[in-house]
Structure 1
C-alpha cells in the first residue's frame, strides 16, 4: 500500500511539472542570433546567472569561421558587463588544432567545470557538435564538464548556432522553408542532426525566427521527430529557461511557441498539412512554463477588453513567411473585428512547382490576447493554426488592355 502511494505521489509530481531529482539546477539563455553589444538586459542576465560580478564564464567559439576573433570579442563583451570570461580553444576552424583532442584535455575540462557559465558564439552548429562529441557519439571530457556545471547550477548561453544546439535535434543543412514544406519529409544527417539537448528531449529550438520567417520550417521537423513543443527565438532576443522550466523572454522582439499536442495531419494527402496546432507570440517580459504549458503575460500587459478595433475587414497576408509577417498578422488579428486571418506562402515563378503553395489560417482566442499599457506591444497566446496545400493558376495574366 505504501509503495503504491509513493508511486502515485511521484506520478502526480511529474504531471505537475515538478523537476526530477537529477534535473539541472542551472539555467539556459537561448539567443536567437544578432545579439547586439548594447543589449544590456541579455548580457547582464548571463553574468547574473553565472554568479554575478566577477563570474567565470567559458566562451566557446566552436561554431565560428574565425574563432580567435569571435571568441575574443564575446569574452570582451561579457567582461564589460562584469564577468571574468575566458576563451576555450576548442574549435574546428582553429589552425593546427585537433578540436576533439582538445575537448578531451583534462585541464580544459576542469576549467569549464569550475566556471559559473558558458557562452557559445554563432556560426555553424555542426562545428559545435563535431568538436564536443566523439566520433562514436559519446561525450568528450569538456562536454561532460559543461553538463556537470549546468547540473550544479551554472548557466549555458548561446546565440544563433549556440541556440540551435540546445535541443536534442537541430537543423543541419535544410533547404529553404517552402521547399522543405513541399518535400514532405525530413532527412536525418542532411536537414537535421543530433544537438546537445540541454533543454531536454521534449522541446525543439530554432533561431533567427521572426526576421527570417522560420516558424513554418519547424513544423515538419516537429512532426517527423515527434515534438509537441517548439520554441523559436528572434534576433537580439533571449529565452531564459530556469530550473523549474519557466521561460522568460528578454530583448528586442520576442519568441514563438508552437504546440502540436492536439494537432493532426492527414497522411492520405501527399503534401504537407496540419490541423489544430497552436501558435503563441511571447513579447519581451512574457513567461511560458514548458512543463505546465501555461502563459503569463509581462507586467506591462493587460487582457484586451474588446474595445473599438484598429482594423476592420478581412485580415490577409500574401507572404506569411516574410520578415516578421506572422507576428504582424497575429497582432493585426488581435486588434480587428475578425475571428480568422489567412496567410499564403508561394515561391517565385522560376522555382520548382511554383503553382504549389500553402494556406495558413489563424483563428483567435480573445482570452489569450494581452495588450501593452505602455506602447504597441502584444502578447498573443494559443491561436489555432491550420495549414493546407493550395494551388495557384499559372501563368498570371494582366487585366490591363
Structure 2
C-alpha cells in the first residue's frame, strides 16, 4: 500500500474528451513484436487458460504486468482485483493509477509522470480493465490528442515484444475506431453511427485495418459492427464473446482461447443500395471461430481446432433437413445457434428477424437477416462435444416494415 499511496500522490483532478482525429495514432515505427489478448468481457477468475496465457506472454512466472484501471468507475478496487488475479497465476502485477474516476487525482499529470511511465516501460505486459472505453482514451491522451508519456510507454512494451491485454472496454480500444456512446443494436441499424458520438478513435493496437467489438454473442452485437465498419471503411471485423479471448501474435495469427468463440465479419465483397432510405447490405461473409480455432489476418485462412480437424462436415450427409429460423436474431447466442443449425443441414438458407419493442423509435421498422451457404462455406464439428466451427456463410440484411398494431383486441 505504501507504493500505491506514493503513486497516487502523483495525481490530481481534471477532465476533457479526447480529440477525435484518427491520424494522430499513425506511427512510422516498425511493426510491434508483441501480442494482443483481446477479451470480450466477463472474464471469470477460474478461466485459467486466458489468465495463464497473459502471464506467459508477459514473460512467465514473476512477469511484471502494468494494470490500467482507467475505464472503471471504481479504479482502485478494479485494479487491485485484477492484480490479485494475475498474481494468482504467477505474475508480479502493479497498479498504474491513471484514471478519470480516481478520487483526489489529476489523471493528466499522472499520465505524463516520467517515473510512472518508466515503470510501465520496463514491464513485460499491460492489462486494461473493463468499464467505459471513453475513460481510457480520455485518461491516456493529452488534450491535443497526442499520446501521453504512459501511453507511449505502453506502445514501447508492445513494440519490444510484450503483451497488451484488455477486457470489455479494454478490448474496445484495441482498434483505431471504437464504439463510444452507442445506441442499442437495433437502433444502430435504424439510425446509423456518427463520428464523435456513437463511434470515436480507439488506441489502434491491432492496426487500422481491423475493427474490434466485445460482449458479442450474448448481446447480439455482431449486427452493430456492420454499420460502423461500413462508415469507416473496414473490411474485417472481429467480435469476441464474454469469458473468451482472441490472442493475436506478431505474425497477425488469431487464436481463440477461453469459454466460447468469436465472429469474423468480412465486408470485402459487400454492397449496399445507398439510394434506399433504410440500412441494407448484401454479400457480407460471416464466420464463427470456436475455442482453439485460428485465423490468419495476413493470408485470410482458417485453421480449425485440433479436435475438429478430422470433423469436416459432409454436405451430402447433413444432420438435419428442417427449416432454420430465428424470431430474435439479436438475442443471446441466437446468431451462432442459427449458423450451427444451417451448416449441418440440407437447407441452403436460414432467416432471422430483428424487431422493435412498441416503445422504441420506428417500431414498424425491422430487419431480415438471410444466411446462405455458398461454395466457400464449410463447417467442422468436434467429436467430443456439440461444438462447431463455421466459416464463410453469406449474410444479407434488408429492412422490413410491419403493420402496427400487430394484434387487434376486440
- Scaled by the length of structure 1, the TM-score of the pair is 0.93
Classify the secondary structure of the residue corresponding to 1:357.
strand
Contact persistence 2:34–2:159 (CA under 8 A): yes
Is 1:197 the counterpart of 2:204? The answer is yes
C-alpha distance in structure 2 between counterparts of 1:363 and 1:176, whole Å: 26
Count of residue pairs the alignment pairs up: 380
C-alpha distance in structure 1 between counterparts of 2:169 and 2:360, whole Å: 28
Pairing partner for 2:268 from 251, 261, 265? 261
The residue that corresponds to 2:234 in the other structure is: 227
Aligned runs of 1:1-400 on 2, under 5 Å?
A: 22-183=30-191, 185-301=192-308, 302-306=311-315, 308-365=317-374, 367-397=377-407
C-alpha distance in structure 1 between counterparts of 2:96 and 2:369, whole Å: 44
Q: Unmatched 5+ residue regions in structure 1?
A: 1-19
- Scaled by the length of structure 2, the TM-score of the pair is 0.91
- CA displacement at 1:315 relative to structure 2: 0.7
Q: Deviations over 1:102-143 (max 9, x none)?
A: 010111111111000000110010110011000100000000
Contact persistence 2:315–2:346 (CA under 8 A): no
Q: Unmatched 5+ residue regions in structure 2?
A: 1-27
Q: Deviations over 1:351-382 (max 9, x none)?
A: 22111111110112475211112110000011
> Structure 1 residues 353, 376: closer, same or farther in 2, change over 3 A?
same
- CA displacement at 1:308 relative to structure 2: 4.7
Deviating more after overlay: 356-365 vs 309-318: 309-318
C-alpha distance in structure 1 between counterparts of 2:183 and 2:358, whole Å: 18
Contact persistence 2:267–2:285 (CA under 8 A): yes
What's the Cα RMSD here? 1.4
- CA displacement at 1:393 relative to structure 2: 1.9
Classify the secondary structure of the residue corresponding to 2:178.
strand
C-alpha distance in structure 1 between counterparts of 2:209 and 2:317, whole Å: 40
The residue that corresponds to 2:21 in the other structure is: none
- CA displacement at 1:21 relative to structure 2: 8.2
C-alpha distance in structure 1 between counterparts of 2:271 and 2:343, whole Å: 25
The residue that corresponds to 1:3 in the other structure is: none
Detail structure 1 runs of 4+ shifted over 4 Å in the superposition: none
